[in-house]
Amino acid sequence: MKYYHFSSLVIDLLRSMELVVEISSKREVLTKKILLRRLDNSITSLDIYARAFPETPNLILFQFTETSPKSHALLTQMIQTFRVEIQRLKPYLNKPGKELLDQIVYDNALETRIKNLPNGINQLDIVSEARISQLIQLFPCLTNSELAICSFLSLKMTIDEIYSLTGKTSNCLRISFHRILHKTNLSSGKELIRILESMK
C-alpha cells in the first residue's frame, strides 16, 4: 500500500493553512472548497465540512465531498445541448466570430449555469486569499475569470487540469490567455508563466 503525505495531495498549501486557522478559531461546522490532487494525479475541487473539537481545537475533523454524479450528469447534458446549438450557428461565422461565440457561450452563459448547480465551484473561492490579493496587485485590470486562470497557472496546473475544473475548452482557455497577455502588456506567454509560477 502506498503512503501519501497530505502536502502531496493539496494543490494550494497556503489556502489549506488559511482554512485550518479559520476552522480552529470557530465553534461551528464550516463549509469550504479546496483543490486536491486525487491518487490518479487528476485535480478536483472538493467541498470540505470541518469542525475543530471543542476541548482540543488543534484537532479538526474533515469530511470531503465531491460534486454529485447527478450534478455531473446535468452539466454534461447542458454542455451537449450548447454544442449542438453552436454547431448550427458556426458555419455562418468567420474565424473571429467563432472565437467570440466560444468565449460568450463557455465563459459567460455556461459558467453561470455551473455556478448555479448545487455543488458548482466559485473559482476564486478555491484559491488562497493571499494568492488572489497578490494577483490583483500584479494585474489589477483582470476580470475574476482571468484571475482564476492566472491563479491556477501559478499553482503549475496544466491546461487539461484547468479544463477539468472550469469546463472551458482549450480554445476558450487560449483566448483567455491571449486576452490576459494583452491586458498585462507582457511580451510573451513564457514571461507570464514565469511571473505566475514564481509566486509564493
Residues 119 and 136 in one domain: yes
Residues 85 and 183 in one domain: yes
Q: Give the whole-angstrom CA distance, residue 190 versus residue 176.
A: 15
pLDDT of residue 180: 92
Set of cell numbers at residue 149 = 486562470
Give domain status of residue 135, yes or no. yes
Please give the average per-residue pLDDT across 103-119, as a whole number. 49
Please give the average per-residue pLDDT across 107-126, as a whole number. 49
Q: What residue type is 70 in one-letter code?
A: K
pLDDT of residue 13: 74
Residues 6+ apart with CB under 8 A from 94: none
Residues 86 and 24 in one domain: no
Total domains in the fold of the chain: 2
Q: Give the whole-angstrom CA distance, residue 6 versus residue 10.
A: 6
Q: Give the whole-angstrom CA distance, residue 9 versus residue 112.
A: 29
In this structure, of 54-68, 125-139, 157-171, the range with the lowest mean pLDDT score is 54-68
Give domain status of residue 169, yes or no. yes
Residues 56 and 12 in one domain: yes
| Per-residue pLDDT tens digits for 190-200 | 999 999 988 87
In this structure, of 7-16, 102-111, 184-193, the range with the lowest mean pLDDT score is 102-111
| Per-residue pLDDT tens digits for 31-60 | 877 777 776 677 777 777 888 887 777 788
For 45, the domain range is 6-65
Please give the average per-residue pLDDT across 73-96, as a whole number. 71
pLDDT of residue 124: 61
Q: Give the whole-angstrom CA distance, residue 89 versus residue 80.
A: 15
Residues 50 and 119 in one domain: no
pTM of the predicted model over 0.75: no
